[in-house]
Structure formats: C-alpha cells, structure tokens
Amino acid sequence: MSYITITTEYGRQNASIDIKRFAADLAKELGGQLLDAGNFDQQAIKVGADVLHLSANTWKRVVHAWISAPDVPHGDWSSYDKEQKAVDANVNPDGRSIAAIAKDLKRRVIDANQPALAKRRAHAAQQKHNRQNVAQYAADLKAAVPGLDIRVDERNQSAAIYSGPQSYYLSGRMGCDGQVSIDRIGSVSLTTFQKICAVLDGDKRASDDR
C-alpha cells in the first residue's frame, strides 16, 4: 500500500504523505520505538540511544531523515566542529519496500552518524564537567573569602567576582579551570601594592616550577 496519495484539484496535482504510517512501519523494521508526534508532518523513532527524525516533504514527495542524541542538551555540542556534524538523507517512501528503506536509512543516517554523535556526547560531558568545576571553585573561594560576592554563570562556565561589602573594591572573573582574572581593583597603598605584587610573583614562580 502506497504512502503517497495524489489528488487532483482544479487541474493541479497535490501530494500527501502518510508520514505517521510510514514511521510506524519503519520503526518495526528498525526495531525502534515510535515516539509521540510533535507535528502533523513530522515523526520520530527511538533507535537505541538515538532518535531518528522524519519529516514529510510533499512538494518533493520525499521523507527527510536526520538523527540526534536526545541526551545531549541544546547548546552542549559544537556546531563549529566538523567531527560533530551529522549527515541526513531523503528517501522516496514509495520507491522501495519499507524493509529496503529501513536498511538504507540505517546505513546512511543511523550508522553513518555514530562517530559524530559520540563526539557530541563527549563534548557535552566535558561541558557538564566544566560547569561542575566552576561551581565547586566558586564554593571553595567563597568559603576561603566569605566577604566576596561570587556570581556563578554555569551556562558560560564562569563566575563573576566582586568585593561585596569589603572596604576595598575588586572585580574579576573565574573560569572553569579555577584561573582568576582581575578586571579592576580599587586604590591601595604602595605598601599593599608591593605585597600584592610579591604574592603574584610567588604564584608565577610556583607555576613555572610545575
């Protein structure tokens, strides 16, 4: 039974694709789970840990297929990294048997994208680790210097540091690696400034020794 229906209206042919039935049959062939439809012309199938997305293009009379890793939050994979770039495919739902189409999509979309999805998952895991790091560093710094006002921005994996109610003015930033950049510090005496330089110099020497 065809998945494409052609109707003629006012002398013009219009095509419709039964994407819901196509997806249900495809899911059986792939051994996947048909997910709830989010759109009348789109369907999704859970295949292993991934989700195969299907979209009906009635103008071209094809089904567009692409894949995603549902456990990777939006923004936690890099669109600039070529190794994380996924490939997609178009298939004619009536061009071959559903078994042949399933085999084709498994080869061209599901299997072909496993390296890219693995890279996305690794990238997302690193982003999560970075956010946990900056939160822990901020907590440790707050415990060591209670007077500081530390505002953690986990999404950007950084923290803004202010002097709070202290008698001196200071503003800076901390990254997920625990490194702090001082943007501005208020006026201090020459003696205090020399002490600050001595501390910074000692810190640099220690870093060089490592």
pLDDT over 80 at 204, yes or no? no
- The pLDDT score that the predictor gives to residue 202 is 81
pLDDT at 69 over 70: yes
Read off the pLDDT of each residue in 60-65 and give the average, rounded to a whole number.
96
Average pLDDT, integer, range 159-170: 84
Whether residue 210 has pLDDT greater than 70? no
Query: Could you tell me the maximum CA-CA distance found in the chain, to the nearest angstrom?
Result: 91
Q: What is the pLDDT of residue 28?
A: 97
**Average pLDDT of the residues in 148-176:** 90
pLDDT digits (tens, 9 = 90+) for 82-111: 999 999 999 999 989 999 999 999 999 999
**Contact of 88 with 53, CB cutoff 8 Å:** no
Q: Is the pLDDT of residue 166 over 70?
A: no
DSSP tag of 39: B
Is the CB of residue 172 less than 8 Å from the CB of residue 180? yes
Cβ–Cβ under 8 Å, residues 175 and 157: yes
- Give pTM, 2 decimals: 0.82
Bridge partners (DSSP) of residue 11 are none
Closest CA to 138 of 88, 90, 175: 175
Determine which of 25-34, 100-109, 166-175 has the lowest per-residue pLDDT on average.
Answer: 166-175
pLDDT band at 114 (very low <50, low <70, confident <90, very high): very high
Measured distance CA(31)–CA(18) in Å, rounded = 20
**Residue 54 in contact with residue 45, Cβ under 8 Å?**
yes
